[in-house]
């Protein structure tokens, strides 16, 4: 019972916040709705017993990507005074979302304690391994069966990095760094010249 | 298959990746001063990998003993022969590069390392017996290639070539991935053996869509018509040594990969993809031949020439027989020699100040100013056209023979007719070099490394090359047998 309630709550929230991502006029609001959508998707993952993927979703998408999005969005030209002016008006909505999140946390934790949701597979072969956590299973696959591909993927990332640097790094030729020794060793006679120009004549340096 | 046996089978890949990583550290600490040293060491690494692969090719390795990592990777004779060509072509691209980039003061230590990693990726591509391995190898090669195309970063044309290659290559990867996901969805497995077993009962519509999209994505990579649009622009804009590399090694890798996908994974269902390959072959031959006629830049002309040649190679694949696969490999080997030779000759066309000359009009009267260079270039052109005393004829001959044996007589006839059109523009270059008034532009000297490479290619495509036919034929037959062993 708690499974069904939690599932429909998470699923409804994912869809509702996804709709709000594309309908809200303010890009900052869009990104915030996007974070809520990711968060609920993570909840769905918890329900099916894939807690590792749920954590990844929260850490990678919510933690890194969405915050990066927010930074980009903040660089856009947005009138923040106007945004803040709606604080009192939007306060109830904020409280409502906070309550929903709290309820989701409680429900999700409860449903997770009650065991994973049974997912029907077409031929019923994909039964979960008892007594083994997600991370162990994924690690055994990545560093065992798919070791070769995993290492090759690492080389691909290295090549991408080498390429990006090779194409964009311009070296230090354009910079003029401070040379402290040169500055300290400089003597007055190198820098100061005494001249006595005649009246009406310019000086040549 | 235990872990150590798997590691022994990927010894060439391990050698290449470790030397790539070590040389990257050298490049990071010593800087661009070391780029010549790194080029030489990269050549040594490629040579080492060459000799690690050679025994499997000569011994005609096949069967389950060549499978590593639970069937994700194979080191059979087919992959081995393709790797030999790839390593040789990559080595040539390293030899000709320093002189070119130093001219623009742009020789940097990353070039040999990227070529090394591209060769590694291509080796993984031709050894792939799993959709995941296929994609990983392809992306490793492609990423290195995008960077190499725009390596001359101060040059607008080079940057444009890199960007075009990147955008279209990403699109092609997307199409390929779409096909792969459909294939996986309708067969339930990513391994080629599994796909073949799943389709043994007959082709499903979903799998048909899958193979069509996969072949479309691969056709981008081998620049077969109708997915060839990027080729002339990228080949013209990319630095010439990189163009030489693009026209040789990645072509071998992508064609060998397409052959393995078509003949291994979808081998029993060859009727499903044969008409696609037949169309691509005819269209490539015709478009390559007609498109080249109006070109004024020799690199663009060679780009159309490579489209044209891919068409002939695809005739061998369209036959869907062991003889066809063998003929395809023979043609590929000859094509690599001709392409490397042509581009080395193009790199040797320099004016008095040492600037590189690319216009066909500038070649006028080359036979009187630089007779030896003109002779070599003329040999390459006659060989590409398939004129009998030269070795290029043999490649076309075996391919057409395989097509006729597979009852594809109309395809062979169309191919022969279109190769006559192709001969027109190849011979036009010979005419410009031998019968036009000297333009006097091309007077610059080249170093011994270029001459040595040109001499090797010229000897290979000369009638002396026919001494190799028996040996090359035996190697190609062994490789094709390995490809058909499972099917």
* Distance (Å, whole) CA B389 – CA B398: 15
Same domain, A74 and A139: no
Same domain, A11 and A75: yes
Same domain, A68 and A142: no
Are the CB atoms for B394 and B469 separated by under 8 Å?
yes
Closest CA–CA distance from residue A126 to any residue of chain B (Å): 13
Residues of B in contact with A147 (CB under 8 A): 69
Express each pLDDT in B248-278 by its tens digit: 999 999 999 999 999 988 888 888 889 899 9
Region B444-454 average pLDDT: 84
Question: CB-based burial of residue B335 (10 Å sphere; 0-12 exposed, 13-18 middle, 19+ buried)?
Answer: buried
What CATH number should be reported for the domain holding residue A45? 1.20.120.1200
pLDDT of A124 above 50: no
* Distance (Å, whole) CA B292 – CA B235: 13
Express each pLDDT in B72-127 by its tens digit: 898 889 999 999 999 999 999 999 998 888 888 888 889 999 999 999 999 999 99
pLDDT of B442 above 50: yes
Region A3-24 average pLDDT: 89
Same domain, A70 and A138: no
Position A36 in a domain: yes
Nearest to A162 among B73, B113, B139 (CB): B113
Nearest to B72 among A149, A158, A167 (CB): A149
Position A200 in a domain: no
Position A185 in a domain: no
Position A153 in a domain: yes
Nearest to B117 among A148, A153, A155 (CB): A155
Weakest-pLDDT range from A35-39, B138-142, B211-215: A35-39
- With DSSP H G I counted as helix, E B as strand and the rest as coil, what are the percentages for chain A, rounded to 5? 70, 0, 30
Same domain, A6 and A74: yes
Chain B residues with a Cβ under 8 Å from any Cβ in chain A: 6, 10, 17, 20-21, 24, 68-70, 72-73, 108, 110, 113-114, 117, 120-121, 124, 132-133, 136-137, 139-140, 143-144, 146-147, 150-151, 153, 162
Q: Which domain holds residue A163?
A: 134-168
How many domains does the structure of chain A reveal? 2
Query: According to the model, what pLDDT value does residue B249 have?
Result: 93
Q: How confident is the model at residue A74 (pLDDT cuts 50, 70, 90)?
A: confident
Contact check, Cβ <8 Å, A152/B137: yes
Query: Two tokens at B244?
Result: 């030489």
Handedness of CA A162, A166, A167, A170 (dihedral sign): positive
Region A172-185 average pLDDT: 78
Position A190 in a domain: no
Position A34 in a domain: yes
Contacts made by residues A100-104, CB under 8 angstroms, sequence distance 24+: A100/A13, A101/A36, A101/A39, A103/A9, A104/A6, A104/A9, A104/A10, A104/A13, A104/A39, A104/A40, A104/A43
Point out the domain boundary residue: A80, A105, A123. Answer: A80
* Among the listed residues B230, B255, B256, the one whose alpha carbon sits nearest the alpha carbon of residue B243: B230
Query: According to the model, what pLDDT value does residue B360 have?
Result: 85
pLDDT of B45 above 60: yes
Find the helix packing angle between B205-221 and B156-187, rounded to 10°.
Answer: 160
Express each pLDDT in A85-100 by its tens digit: 767 777 888 888 888 8
ipTM: 0.91
Backbone φ and ψ of A20, nearest 5°:
-65, -30
pLDDT of B168 above 60: yes
Query: According to the model, what pLDDT value does residue B1 have?
Result: 53
């Amino acid at each position: 019972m708690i499974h069904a309630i939690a599932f429909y709550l998470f699923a409804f929230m994912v869809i509702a916040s996804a709709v709000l991502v594309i309908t809200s006029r303010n890009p900052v609001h869009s990104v915030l709705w996007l974070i809520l959508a990711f968060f609920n998707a993570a909840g769905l993952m918890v329900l099916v017993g894939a807690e590792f993927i749920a954590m990844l979703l929260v850490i990678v998408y919510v933690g890194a990507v969405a915050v990066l999005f927010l930074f980009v969005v903040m660089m856009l030209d947005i009138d923040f005074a106007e945004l803040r002016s709606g604080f009192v008006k939007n306060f109830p909505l904020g409280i409502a979302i906070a309550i929903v999140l709290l309820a989701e946390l409680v429900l999700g934790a409860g449903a997770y304690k009650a065991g994973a949701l049974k997912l029907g597979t077409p031929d019923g072969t994909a039964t979960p391994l008892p007594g083994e956590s997600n991370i162990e299973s994924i690690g055994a696959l990545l560093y065992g069966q798919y070791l070769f591909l995993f290492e090759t993927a690492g080389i691909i990332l290295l090549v991408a990095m080498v390429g990006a640097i090779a194409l964009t790094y311009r070296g230090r030729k354009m910079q003029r760094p401070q040379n402290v020794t040169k500055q300290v060793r400089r003597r007055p006679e190198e820098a100061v010249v005494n001249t006595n120009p005649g009246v009406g004549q310019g000086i040549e340096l | 298959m235990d872990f150590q046996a798997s590691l022994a089978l990927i010894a060439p890949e391990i050698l290449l990746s470790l030397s790539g990583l070590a040389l990257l550290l050298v490049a990071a600490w010593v800087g661009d001063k070391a780029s010549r040293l790194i080029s030489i060491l990269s050549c040594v690494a490629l040579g080492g990998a060459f000799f690690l692969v050679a025994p499997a090719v000569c011994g005609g390795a096949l069967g389950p003993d060549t499978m590593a990592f639970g069937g994700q990777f194979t080191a059979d004779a087919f992959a081995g022969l393709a790797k030999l060509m790839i390593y040789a072509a990559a080595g040539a691209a390293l030899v000709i590069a320093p002189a070119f980039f130093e001219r623009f003061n742009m020789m940097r230590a990353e070039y040999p390392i990227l070529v090394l990693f591209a060769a590694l990726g291509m080796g993984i591509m031709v050894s792939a017996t799993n959709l995941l391995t296929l994609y990983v190898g392809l992306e490793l090669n492609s990423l290195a290639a995008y960077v190499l195309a725009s390596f001359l970063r101060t040059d607008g044309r080079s940057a444009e070539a890199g960007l075009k290659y990147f955008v279209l290559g990403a699109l092609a990867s997307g199409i390929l991935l779409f096909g792969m996901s459909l294939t996986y969805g309708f067969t339930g497995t990513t391994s080629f053996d599994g796909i073949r077993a799943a389709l043994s009962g007959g082709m499903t519509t979903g799998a048909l869509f899958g193979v069509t999209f996969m072949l479309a994505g691969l056709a981008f990579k081998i620049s077969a018509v109708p997915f060839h649009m990027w080729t002339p622009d990228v080949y013209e804009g990319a630095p010439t040594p990189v163009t030489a590399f693009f026209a040789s090694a990645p072509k071998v890798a992508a064609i060998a990969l397409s052959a393995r996908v078509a003949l291994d994974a979808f081998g029993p269902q060859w009727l499903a993809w044969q008409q696609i390959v037949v169309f691509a072959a005819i269209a490539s031959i015709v478009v390559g031949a007609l498109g080249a006629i109006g070109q004024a830049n020799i690199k663009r002309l060679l780009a159309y020439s490579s489209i044209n040649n891919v068409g002939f190679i695809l005739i061998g694949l369209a036959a869907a027989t062991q003889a066809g696969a063998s003929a395809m490999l023979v043609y590929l080997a000859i094509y690599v020699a001709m392409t490397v030779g042509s581009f080395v000759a193009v790199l040797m066309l320099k004016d008095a100040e040492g600037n590189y000359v690319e216009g066909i009009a500038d070649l006028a009267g080359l036979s009187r100013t630089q007779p030896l260079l003109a002779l070599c270039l003329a040999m390459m052109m006659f060989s590409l056209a398939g004129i009998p005393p030269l070795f290029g004829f043999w490649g076309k001959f075996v391919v057409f023979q395989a097509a006729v044996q597979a009852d594809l007589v109309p395809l062979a006839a169309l191919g022969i007719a279109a190769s006559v059109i192709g001969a027109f523009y190849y011979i036009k270059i010979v005419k410009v070099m031998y019968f036009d008034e000297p333009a006097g532009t091309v007077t610059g000297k080249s170093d011994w490394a270029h001459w040595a490479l040109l001499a090797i290619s010229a000897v290979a495509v000369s009638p002396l090359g026919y001494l190799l036919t028996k040996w090359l034929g035996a190697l190609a037959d062994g490789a094709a047998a390995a490809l058909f062993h499972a099917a």
